[in-house]
Amino acid sequence: MLFLMYAVKPALLWLLRRTGNIEDGPSQSMISLILLIALASAFFTAIIGVHAIFGGFMVGLILPRENSFNIKVTEKLEDLIGAIFLPLYFTLSGLKTDIGLLDSGIAWGYVAAALSRKFGTQSRTQLG
Write the pLDDT tens digit of every residue in 20-42.
Answer: 888 888 999 999 999 999 999 99
The whole-number average pLDDT for the span 3-7 is 92
Question: What pLDDT was estimated at residue 103?
Answer: 87
pLDDT for 127: 54
pLDDT at 6: 94
pLDDT computed for residue 17 by the predictor: 92
Report d(CA 25, CA 23) in Å as an integer.
6
**N-terminal to C-terminal alpha carbon distance within the chain:** 52
* 70, 64 contact by CB (below 8 A): yes
pLDDT of residue 100: 86
Helix (H) or strand (E) run with residue 64 in it:
none
Output the pLDDT for position 125: 57
pLDDT averaged over every residue in the chain: 88
CB 103 within 8 A of CB 61: no
CA distance 17 to 103: 58
The tens digit of pLDDT for each residue in 69-112 reads 999 999 998 988 889 888 998 999 889 888 888 888 898 999 89
pLDDT tens digit sequence for 42-69: 999 999 999 888 999 999 999 999 888 9
